[in-house]
Amino acid sequence: MRLPNTFILGAPKCGTTAMARYLGEHPGIFFSKLKEPGYWATDFGWLAERNGLHSREQYLSLFSAATQLQPVVGEASTMYLSSTCAVANILANCPGAKLIVMLRDPVEVAYAYHMQKLLMFHEDIGDFETAWRLQELRRSGERVPANCPGPVMLQYGAIAGFGPQVRRLLETAPRQSIHFIRYERFKADAAGTYAEVLGFLGIEHDGRIAFPVVGPARDYRFPVFARLFHDPPALVRAPVRALRRHLILRRYPAVEALRQRMFKARSRSHIEPRLRAELVEYFAPHVREIESLLGWDLADWRSGKPAARAPGGGL
């Protein structure tokens, strides 16, 4: 079985799903159909456990369909960036691996990440400000929904606080093995960003010119059925999760079409100005650290000005 040699490490809600989709459709690239396998984040062991990846062989089976005509073999697990050991584990087992990191205004990330946790039934507090203020209590394991894999998943400040995460990455991996992408740049010029990633991977451009929206803001048409699928009762939890993994890996066209019909478009509201100002101040040290580490000018992140949104969100 082939080892992956390319990893999208994160961060959540930064365009990683879109990038993994675009790269996975390149004829010379194979990407795991299962996004977020999380195998190398052994400090978040429940990630791999929930995906049924109990052994190295099970993990490597995600890449068994890769052919010799696909020199780039990869996966995307956005918790790798916040993990304290994932990158070290990757480099110890996959020498020479290339690492892709996508970053976005942390205020926007925290807010969008909360919406995602609601959609996955990991979060049960619909109001973002309330969930934000519960972080300290939840860190000790209180007020954590039963379906949430671990308290860390609801630590919005830590997930979107990229400064220490990027510093740890740069201290662990060779700088030339890492390609950093600003989400705002990706959103404004997906074609140019995609071409730069192919150059980093050392693979010829496939002539792709279409970059359809991936991951638009959405909600469930039938939330009761969605909950049964994502948060099943204990009696049937194991078989339902096994079925979900199977459907994700196989991607049967009829099932995919039905799954898409389960969603409806949802407009993303802006963060209330008072709370936004508080979050901008909270993340300011992280933003300054990213500017120092990567040489980026992040005046737009520091300004606290709401990001422009395309209709339907996503990328």
**Model pTM score:** 0.88
- Report how many helices (DSSP H) and strands (DSSP E) the chain contains, helices first: 16, 7
Q: CA 287 to CA 272: how far, in whole Å?
A: 21
- Whether residue 15 is predicted with pLDDT greater than 70 in this model: the reply is yes
pLDDT of 225 strictly over 80:
no
Q: Residue 312's pLDDT is what?
A: 39
pLDDT tops 50 at residue 162:
yes
Whether 249 contacts 33, CB under 8 Å: yes
pLDDT tens-digit map of 177-195: 999 999 999 999 999 999 9
Residues 6+ apart with CB under 8 A from 104: 11, 13, 14, 15, 182, 183, 184
- pLDDT at residue 308 is higher than 60: no
> For the residues of 186-227, what is the DSSP string, one character each?
HHH-HHHHHHHHHHHHT------------S--EEESSHHHHH
CATH numbers and ranges of domains, the chain = 6-217+266-303 (3.40.50.300)
Nearest alpha carbon to residue 97 among 197, 3, 221:
3
What integer best gives the mean pLDDT of the chain?
A: 89
Percent of the chain exceeding pLDDT 70 equals 81
| Average pLDDT value for residue range 50-73 | 94
For residue 127, the number of C-alpha atoms closer than 13 Å in the C-beta half-sphere is 6
| pLDDT > 90 fraction of the chain, expressed in percent and rounded | 71
pLDDT class for 310, splitting at 50, 70, 90?
A: very low
Greater model confidence, 215 or 79: 79
Over residues 288-303, mean pLDDT:
97
71-to-5, 42, 43, 67 alpha-carbon distances in Å: 9, 27, 30, 8
Distance CA 93, CA 78 (A): 19
Confidence of residue 284 (pLDDT cuts 50, 70, 90): very high
Which has more pLDDT, 305 or 7? Answer: 7
Q: Where do we find the tokens 């192919």?
A: 198
Instruction: Name the nearest CA neighbour of 32 among 75, 86, 61.
Output: 75
Q: pLDDT band for position 73 (50/70/90)?
A: very high
Residue 97 is predicted with a pLDDT of 98
Q: Give me the pLDDT at residue 222, please.
A: 56
Average confidence (pLDDT) over 55-68: 95
10 Å CB burial of residue 126 (0-12, 13-18, 19+) is exposed
More confident residue, 308 or 147: 147
State yes or no: pLDDT of 142 exceeds 90. yes
Number of C-alpha atoms within 13 angstroms, CB side, residue 311? 1
Are the C-beta atoms of residues 7 and 88 closer than 8 Å to each other? no
Span 36-44, average pLDDT = 95
263 membership: H or E segment, kind and range: strand 263-265
